[in-house]
A and B are shown apart, each in its own frame.
Chain A
Amino acid sequence: MATDSAGQSAPLRVESSGSETILALSGTLDDAAVALCWSRALGAARTSQGPVRVDCARVDSCGGAGFALLVALAEMAEERKQSFVVDGLAPQFRSMYDGIDRSKLGQAETPQREKYGPVASVGQAVADRAAEWREETEFVGEVGVGLAGLGREPRRLRLREWWVMVEKAGTNALPIVALISFLMGMIMAFQAAMPMRQFGVDLFVVNLVALAITRELGPLMTAIVLAGRSGSAFAAEIGTMKVNEEVAALTTMGLSPVRFLAVPRVLAGIVVTPVLTVYSMAIGVAGGLAVMMMLGFPLATLMHQLSGSLRVDDVLAGLIKSFFFGAVVAGVGCLRGLQTGAGAAAVGDSTTRSVVTAIFLIVLLDAVFAVIYYQLKF
């Protein structure tokens, strides 16, 4: 289509008469036609030795792309200090073309954005981090005060909304927690049974699974699942409220967003996580026992081994942790939600941050508990 031969549909013909270069355009100059001839037209103008004339006598209609082509040719000619004319353009397109103010096209303002040098950016980062710590400390304090306030005045809890939070974070998490815990117990039992069988101690896999699940993996896996599905949901929900100025509305009504939004969610986290953790422990151990039964141990033997090895202390050790994990997961979700900036991307950012921070803090807290329990010989 885009040939120099006088094909019917060619939108551009390049001719020269004397030193003058003539670009004859024809047909409908829409984006498809202009895309075909753009580089050839500009190429011809770039190599022209004299004045450039664009002949538009056979142009039926001219769209935005056509005008862009004419403007680009005009700019090119101006740059090369050659005379440039457009003729034959139908009157209605002529007036549109004349309406384009080329002098202003090149001069877009550069928006003023603050740019820091290396030293200043380090300083800014430190100041930002300090402000964030302050904010986080205030948040922890305010949630604490809010929870204590609820203890004194339980009626201030909006029970119906709170119940929905408990249902979403707790009841609805049952299937996934069950699945993960059961598989976790199975995998652990299976992996341990093979090497331990070589020493003839494969019955002790029960001890191993029971201890690991109740003390560590039950609480940990539950908390991580909750960070992924509930903490992030809190962050996205509160983040969207912040973007929609609902958080600002609470503030101007004299209600503290932390007490109104975060405290009930943290309370829900604290209530729900231990329940889910115990559930996860039971199912995890059941998963381990299932594998042992597949390996040929009778259930009675396994139960006897289990009751002989598992102490209440082990379950308690896991349970105590889970209260803190619940508070951390819900608290981090709410905090990241409240820290959301402006725009749609900010909600995504705070959701990501809530999950990352929550998982990091859970693992950190777990390490702290390991040290404490060791010191207490618990």
Chain B
Amino acid sequence: MQEEKIIEVRRLSAGYAGRTILSDVSFDVRQGEIFIILGGSGSGKSTLLKNMIGLYPAMSGEVLIRGENMIGAVGAVRERLLRQFGVMYQGGALFGSMTLAENVALPLEECTRLPREARALLARLKLQQVGLGQFADYLPSETSGGMVKRAAVARAMALDPGILFLDEPSAGLDPITSAELDELIRALSRDYGITFVIASHELASVYAIGDRAILLENGGIAAEGSPVQLRDNPPNDYVRAFFRREPERARAA
């Protein structure tokens, strides 16, 4: 079970307006692991993530989620694939006019036939899972950045997806809030067996939660392995520079 591949990325190339940002990227994500996409600013972390969830049309290659290709999927196949994962966007992307509970209940309302009371209760349960039970009736603007992100995780989990994609969960959070979010990710992975794919460059958080990671550089994968292992035994100079925060070495590499 542990070794089963849940996502397979095969020779994926992506970019915008004729500019290639990722070329021929291939890797696997295994069932139940916390998988980190590392890379400097502009290395294509978000581009990779957004191609994996089918938000941008990839130039070539495929992204298989439980064996089905996400790239170019339409209609019922796309809908089935979308049900398999939830996404937390960088800024949370909660709808400002709805309370946290309403935000979480929205996918339940649109995608299930659960009665209203069931949806309300389920939304509260999900918010409790992320530690926001008592803030269910707050508007996003009345809460802090960390709470918005946790509520966004709760919304992403509303339909019990097996995979969660998180775009920069630590961005803009203080160390304690960021660590709380890490705890939450670990707990969800442990208790519910959710597979996480996380784009991040927050090293402290990456060591704390990451089972495996890839490091993007120049449109390709510079290294693959567990974050701690990459830090301690960097396979090349760029990886060493990245993990040890050495800009000179990075420029030389």
Contact = CB atoms under 8 A, between A and B. Distances in A.
A71 B191 CA distance: 18
Nearest to B191: A96
A31 B133 CA distance: 21
B25 interface: no
Task: Say which size band chain A's interface belongs to.
Answer: 20 to 34
A107 interface: yes
A38 B121 CA distance: 12
User: Binding site of B, secondary structure by majority: helix, strand, loop or mixed?
Assistant: helix
A300 interface: no
Contacts of B135: 108-109
Given A32-B112, A110-B137, A343-B96, A101 B128 contact: yes
B114 A108 contact: no
A84 to B, nearest CB: 16
B41 interface: no
Contact of A68 (B125, B157, B191): B125
Contacts of B108: 31
Contacts of B75: none
Contacts of B114: 31, 34-35, 38, 65, 68
Contacts of B221: none
Interface string B135-154: 11111011000000000000
Contacts of A35: 112-115, 118
Interface residues of B, number: 32
Contacts of B142: 111
A31 B137 CA distance: 23
A101 B111 CA distance: 27
Contacts of A111: 137-139, 142
Nearest to A99: B191
A312 interface: no
A108 to B, nearest CB: 4
A108 B136 contact: yes
Nearest to B137: A108
A48 B189 CA distance: 38
A142 to B, nearest CB: 30
B141 A343 contact: yes
A176 interface: no
A222 B142 CA distance: 43
Interface string B170-212: 0000000000000000000001100000000000000000000
A65 B135 CA distance: 21
A100 B191 contact: no
Interface in A317-366: 342-345
A22 B135 CA distance: 35
A31 B160 contact: yes
Contacts of A63: 160
A100 B118 contact: no
Interface in B97-129: 97, 101, 108, 111-115, 117-118, 121-122, 124-126, 128
B159 interface: yes
A100 B117 contact: no
A34 B119 CA distance: 11
Given A30-B160, A108-B134, A100 B112 contact: no
Contacts of B115: 35, 38-39
B158 interface: yes
B125 A67 contact: yes
A72 B121 contact: yes
A108 B122 contact: no
Contacts of B117: 72
A35 B115 CA distance: 7
Contacts of A107: 134
Nearest to A30: B160
A104 B133 contact: yes
Contacts of B160: 30-31, 63-65
B141 A342 contact: yes
A105 B125 contact: yes
A44 interface: no
A69 B126 contact: no
B118 A344 contact: no
A344 B96 contact: yes
Nearest to B112: A31
A95 interface: yes
A65 B138 CA distance: 23
6 contacts: A36-B113, A38-B115, A64-B160, A72-B117, A104-B134, A108-B124
Q: 10 closest Cβ contacts across the A-B interface?
A: A35-B113, A31-B112, A68-B122, A63-B160, A108-B136, A68-B121, A343-B96, A35-B114, A111-B138, A109-B134
Interface of A: 30-32, 34-36, 38-39, 63-65, 67-69, 71-72, 95-96, 99-101, 104-105, 107-111, 342-345
